[in-house]
Amino acid sequence: MKIRSAIQTLAIASAVGLIFLGISAPAVAQSECSSSAGTQYTDALDGGLYTFQMNEWNSTLNECVTIGSLGFTITTADFTTATNGAPATYTSIYRGCHWGACTTSNPFPIEENNIGSASTSVSITQPSGSQNDSAYDIWFNQTSTTTGQPNGTEIMIWINHQGAPQPAGSDVGTTTIDGASYAVWTGTESSWNIVSYVASTPVTSVSSLNLLPFFADAVSRGSLKSTWWLIDVEYGFEVWTGGQGLAVNSFSVSAAAGSSGGTCSAAPSAPSGLAATTSSSSVINLAWTADTAPANCTISGYNVYRSTTSGFTPSAGNEIASGVTATSYSSTGLTASTTYYYAIEAVDSEGTSAESSQASAKTSAASVSCTTLPSAPIGLTATAASSSAISLSWTADTAPANCTISGYNVYSSTASGFTPSSSNQVVSGATGTSYTNTGLTASTTYYYKIAAVDADGASTASSQASAETSSSGSTSGCTVDYTISPQNSSAFGAAIKIINGSTALSSWTLTWSFANGQTISSFWNGVETQSGTSVTVKNESYNGTLAAGATLSGLGFNGTWNGSTNSIPTAISLNGTACTVN
């Protein structure tokens, strides 16, 4: 998805619709969490009439929500995103078409000059302690449909906000709409205009807010054209810092075309863009382009037809679904290794369109169960990394037929010849072929065994390996050179050189924490993971061995920073032992 400095762009168009009222979430509250950037959780509300979305796209910190009967509450969030850039998340509810995902029976698209009514109500809870805006995000497109970034105008209405964040663009003055004063900000992005209205007197609810004066004001400023199409209305929170406790208690939006439109007197055109994709041995997923309704008409749904014969004629005998309001459908209960052919028709109040072009897909072969345990792993070695850590490595196990090695269980004891059990298991489901056991006692010998795991269960244990931790007063004497170059206002590069201490290593792990919110984009000559401010870098298969006193150069990364402070980490550890940092 495309991103801008104040909000991630979200909407995409669907067909003209009728008036629609309130929203309700699932009857039983449910909780969902997201902790990886670029992922999005959505949930249909009120039978699909609205959609909830938890869209954490600019942070890897944990966010959890509870979806209730009328909205949602952010139950876990402690974001630390810089307020001079994009927010960490946009958690919201929408009605319309969002990047190809359309709510059912929505009234959009409606051409701006033909909007007869558009109003909305919302109630929020906005506790102090975070930096956020609570805002409508309303999208217009230059045509009635789009399968990508809307290219018309984005209208935001901030009814409340906390902290330093500001809308995109420039402050161009104030306006009064229905007796309320708003600061007006305007700007442009790569392919669309932005107009933001910031309430001079923040509120936590609005009732039957008339949207038409906002649209008229945007048209008068030249930011919106009257021939562009309203395709989506959203409400939620853009959060930069904190976020816990923010809640939408209720939300509704209604809209209708003007009365001058006349009556529907034409059947739709044949739908286009039908595609069929194999999902499994019994499921094929269909998707198509939203049909453009004739003048004064609304696409009420789509009929779906299926056959195992190419070129079949749609009929009541092969219709598998009618009145589908989305632009996708899952065909289930199919036979494995079979080709199916599909066609669809669009429906409005005047009748049914001609059939679409046919699409086909073949279901996959029936899956075969895993019924064999893995063999015992081999090649287990143990190496002391410090006075409190021992590093393990082993050979990847070969999975039996129809099976996959899902991970490894690691067991440890201070007694040689021990029997692996749940009481001495130190990790389960390790997905790599290495593990560092930390928190150990100095000058102590530890014994290890591992078992491989697949869907049928765990293997017998491997042969035993052992190592003795170093004495408590010892130090590796390692040094890490961390050099920043180049650097601009938002991105930087860093080179890393490791100078090993007195202990030879068969594998290594570097750890540190960033102090200023830096984020690694790509790393070379090491396997990097980042969780919030904490960074872990493990060796590649070709550079894990370090002799005592050896130097390893050529490590580095590209990353982003806040444009203000980019300090070198003050503490970097090698295999759990602190190194001198230059």
Rounded Cα gap, residues 283 and 248, in angstroms? 36
Q: Which among 111, 112, 234, 238 is annotated as catalytic?
A: 238
Radius of gyration over alpha carbons of the chain, in Å? 29
> Which residues are bridge partners to 427 per DSSP?
410
- CA-CA distance, 202 to 179, in Å (whole number)? 14
Nearest to 91 by CA among 104, 70, 78, 72: 72
Q: Pick the catalytic residue from 111, 112, 154, 189.
A: 154
203 alpha carbon, distance to own chain's centre? 30
Classify residue 416 by its DSSP letter.
T
Structure tokens at 47: 């039978």
Residue corresponding to tokens 């007694």: 415
Angstrom distance (rounded) from CA 134 to CA 115: 25
Q: Which residues contact 419 (CB under 8 A, 6 or more apart)?
A: none
Residue 64 near residue 27, CB atoms below 8 Å: no
DSSP-assigned states of every residue in 441-496: PTT-EEEEEEEEEETTEEPPP---EEEEPPPTT-----EEEEEEEEE-SSEEEEEE
State yes or no: is 154 an active-site residue: yes
Secondary structure letter of residue 167 according to DSSP: -
CA dist 168 and 154 (Å) reads 11
Report residue 57 as tokens: 């796209």
Beta bridge partners of 46: none
Q: Which residues contact 388 (CB under 8 A, 6 or more apart)?
A: 438, 439, 440, 441, 442, 469, 576
Closest CA to 346 of 55, 14, 24, 120: 14
> Whole-angstrom Cα distance, residue 513 to residue 502?
25
Closest CA to 178 of 201, 160, 154, 155: 201
Are the C-beta atoms of residues 429 and 395 closer than 8 Å to each other?
Answer: no
What is the rounded distance in angstroms from the CA atom of residue 248 to the CA atom of residue 236? 7
Query: Regarding beta strands 509-513 and 572-574, do their DSSP bridges make them parallel or antiparallel, or are they unpaired?
Result: antiparallel
Q: Which one, of 251, 245, 325, lies nearest residue 24 by Cα?
A: 251
Among 463, 437, 439, residue whose Cα is nearest residue 450: 463
CA neighbours within 13 Å on the CB side: how many for 385?
28
> How far apart, in whole angstroms, are the C-alpha atoms of residue 392 and residue 466?
9
SS3 sequence of 437-454: ECCCCCCCEEEEEEEEEE
- By the 8 A CB rule, do 151 and 142 touch? yes
Q: Which residue in the block uniquely carries the two structure tokens 């028709």? A: 345
Question: Quick check: 330 and 245 in contact, CB under 8 A?
Answer: no
Q: How far apart are the first and last CA of the chain?
A: 39
Catalytic residue set = 154, 238
